[in-house]
């Protein structure tokens, strides 16, 4: 499972010109699910995301996490993050999860996120939709986080 996190001052997701979710300060997470990912993988990545220290402390150092700051999390399913880009000029998706499995892992990730942060602090994109994601990247601060699933 891969997660691209961006520290944001605000972010939103729009589907068919309707805003389906929006957050103020916090993290935007683009979530890529692979075939081998499981609910345990979702839990591991979620713990990493909410505890990852990307927010400034009193000295301006990245030393505070989303949990420390009380910020929000906007989770957007991002199929293309599971692409194999190692060779050629066209991405391959042989390791990407099937749509059914990816949606189940997206929902599992959201459930764990709500346990850690509370449901009011977790926004979500719409699985399978043509989404427009708007954000103001703070810093900019962007990190790719990865945790492995069990082969299966």
Q: What pLDDT digit, counting tens, does each position of 46-104 carry?
A: 999 999 999 999 999 999 999 999 999 999 999 999 999 998 999 999 999 999 999 99
Segment 4-39, tens digit of pLDDT: 999 999 999 999 999 999 999 999 999 999 999 999
SS3 44: helix
Domain coordinates of the chain in residue numbers?
Answer: 2-87+95-146
Task: In whole angstroms, give the CA distance from residue 44 to residue 113.
Answer: 11
Question: How crowded is residue 79: how many other Cβ atoms within 10 Å of its Cβ?
Answer: 17
Separation between Cα atoms, residue 113 and residue 117, nearest integer Å: 6
pTM of the full predicted structure? 0.94
Residues 6+ apart with CB under 8 A from 80: 32, 91
Find how far residue 24's CA is from the centre of its chain: 15
Tell me which residues are annotated as active site: 78-80
CATH code for the part of the protein at 2-87+95-146 = 3.50.80.10
């Amino acid at each position: 499972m891969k997660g691209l996190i961006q520290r944001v001052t605000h972010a939103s997701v729009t589907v068919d010109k309707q805003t389906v979710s929006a957050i103020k300060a916090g993290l935007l997470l683009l979530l890529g699910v692979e075939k081998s990912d499981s609910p345990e993988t979702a839990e591991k990545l979620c713990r990493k995301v909410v505890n990852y220290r990307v927010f400034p402390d009193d000295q301006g150092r990245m030393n505070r996490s989303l949990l420390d700051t009380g910020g929000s999390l906007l989770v957007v399913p991002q199929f293309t993050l599971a692409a194999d880009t190692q060779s050629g000029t066209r991405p391959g998706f042989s390791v990407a999860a099937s749509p059914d499995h990816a949606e189940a892992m997206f929902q599992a990730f959201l459930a764990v996120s709500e346990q850690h942060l509370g449901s009011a602090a977790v926004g979500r994109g719409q699985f399978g939709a043509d989404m427009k994601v708007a954000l103001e990247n703070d810093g900019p601060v962007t990190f790719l986080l990865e945790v492995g699933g069990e082969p299966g």
